[in-house]
Amino acid sequence: MLEPLAILKKSGFDVTLVPPTKGGWVEADAIKDAVRDDTLLVSVMHVNNETGIIQPLAEIAERLATHQAYFHVDAAQGFGKDIPTLRHPRIDLISASAHKIYGPKGVGTLIVRRRAYQKVPLTALMYGGGQERGLRPGTLPVHLIVGFGVATELALKQAEKRANICRVFRDQVLKGLAPLKPVIHGDPARCLPHVINFSVDGLDSEAAMLALKGLVAISNGSACTSSNYTPSHVLKAMGETEIQGALRMSWCHRTEQVNWAEIVKYLNRVLI
């Protein structure tokens, strides 16, 4: 979300970034305090892509109840997982990606809710044909759209089952890594069950990824920032200090079982 905001700022808009708490979420009252009378848009990430922390969307929506600013939610990480939250009537716009719910890559959606039959004043980024009501020209990739639709139906139907499987797997992860005494980044009580971000004293993230190559695939950030090896701006904003060695693990309801004793053995070999 930061890059589009930077473009808006260059275009002359005032942009206010609201920092998260130590636990990784943004306080609803902090959003309320940051909103001005002339604020046009409030944009919040549904679930953080590095920590898995769920933002308090319902509380933020309530704080915006009497304000005219449009409320946009980047739901890439939470769409199809934390479903009830996204049904809040105060949310005006929701963006999501198919591959995050195991649909095809290369297709996403922007869900737009009218206000009393009034359209949200959106401006096209590209121009050409009249597809997508003039907002997104070009021949529609029907196969990708259908795949996204099917993936959405399955996510809704299987949401609780998938979540339960991921919770069990998360418990196994925490139990398996316990001998390393990991420091978990973000409030576990507010985290989706398929992501964990942690550090281990004396463990370098690059060394850990190399040590575990061939056993499991882990990262020191999200796939969105895989080309950038600077310390996580997310963890820095949370006030974390042990971020150079931070690792991110994620899984899904189809992830195979892992020999965590083997993982710990290999990580112990690269501890400083």
Question: For the segment 109-134, what is each residue's pLDDT rounded down to a tens digit?
Answer: 999 999 888 889 988 888 887 788 77
3-state SS, residue 72: strand
Residue 144 near residue 231 (C-beta atoms within 8 A):
no
Indicate whether 147 pLDDT > 90.
Answer: yes
Indicate whether 163 pLDDT > 70.
Answer: yes
pLDDT, mean over the chain:
92
Of 210 and 134, more confident: 210
Largest CA distance in the chain: 62
Task: Write the pLDDT tens digit of every residue in 72-103.
Answer: 999 999 999 999 999 999 999 999 999 999 99
Rounded CA gap, 182 and 172, in Å?
A: 14
Radius of gyration over every alpha carbon of the chain, rounded to an integer in angstroms: 20
pLDDT of 161 reads: 97
Q: Which amino acid is at 189?
A: A
pLDDT of 228 reads: 54
Rounded CA gap, 154 and 253, in Å?
A: 13
pLDDT of 264 reads: 96
Q: Which two tokens stand for residue 242?
A: 């042990």
Task: Write the pLDDT tens digit of every residue in 245-254.
Answer: 899 999 999 9
Rounded CA gap, 165 and 61, in Å?
A: 30
Annotated catalytic residues are 224
Of 133 and 71, more confident: 71
Residue 63 near residue 29 (C-beta atoms within 8 A):
yes
Domain residues of the chain, as ranges? 2-149, 159-269
Rounded CA gap, 167 and 134, in Å?
A: 43
What crossing angle do the helices spanning 142-177 and 260-269 adopt, rounded to 10°?
Answer: 70
Q: Which two tokens stand for residue 208?
A: 């850990």
Q: Give the pairing type, strands 93-97 and 108-112.
A: antiparallel
Architecture category of domain 2-149 in CATH:
3-Layer(aba) Sandwich (3.40)
Indicate whether 223 pLDDT > 80.
Answer: no
| Residue whose tokens read 């009580």 | 189
Backbone angles phi, psi at 35, to 5 degrees: -70, 135
Q: Which residues contact 126 (CB under 8 A, 6 or more apart)?
A: 136, 137, 138
pLDDT of 136 reads: 82
Percentage of the chain with pLDDT > 70?
96
Task: Quickly count: other Cβ atoms within 10 Å of residue 166's Cβ.
Answer: 20
Residue 186 near residue 23 (C-beta atoms within 8 A):
yes
Architecture category of domain 159-269 in CATH:
Alpha-Beta Complex (3.90)
Compute the average pLDDT of residues 208-232: 76
pLDDT of 240 reads: 84
Q: How many residues does the chain have?
A: 272
